[in-house]
């Protein structure tokens, strides 16, 4: 996987998540939160740990890809950058 190739990383995340689902497709035990995979498919090159940890706690984190420097809007209103 080359650095900055979000497509390959997103594909890997989807592959790993396919094995992490419980009965009925429950997504709570995924190694990669589905929203992280979505961010990778929308241009993120990497996901900050603080973003993944917040999502695993069930907090809402928004990826903002517009502008020159993509960021994540955290639940407290702060921003996390890649």
- Domain holding 23, by residue range, is 6-81
Question: Is 2's pLDDT higher than 80?
Answer: no
Q: How many independent structural domains does the chain possess?
A: 1
Largest CA distance in the chain: 41
Determine, yes or no, domain membership for 72.
yes
Residue 55 lies in a domain: yes
Dihedral sign, Cα of residue 36, residue 39, residue 41, residue 46: negative
Could you tell me if residue 23 is inside a domain? yes
Classify residue 1: in a domain, yes or no: no
pLDDT digits (tens, 9 = 90+) for 13-43: 666 555 554 444 444 556 678 898 899 989 9
Gap between the Cα atoms of 3 and 7, Å rounded = 11
For the question of whether the overall pTM of this predicted structure is more than 0.75, the answer is no
For 26, residues 6+ apart whose C-beta sits below 8 A from its C-beta are none
Q: Which pLDDT tens digit goes with each residue over 45-68?
A: 999 999 999 999 999 999 999 888
């Amino acid at each position: 996987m080359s650095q900055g190739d979000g497509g390959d990383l997103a594909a890997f995340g989807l592959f790993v998540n396919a094995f992490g689902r419980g009965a009925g497709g429950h997504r709570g035990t995924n190694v990669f939160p589905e929203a992280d995979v979505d961010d990778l498919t929308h241009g993120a090159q990497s996901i900050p740990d603080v973003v993944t940890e917040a999502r695993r706690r069930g907090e809402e984190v928004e990826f903002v890809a517009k502008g020159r420097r993509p960021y994540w809007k955290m639940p407290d209103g702060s921003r996390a950058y890649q």
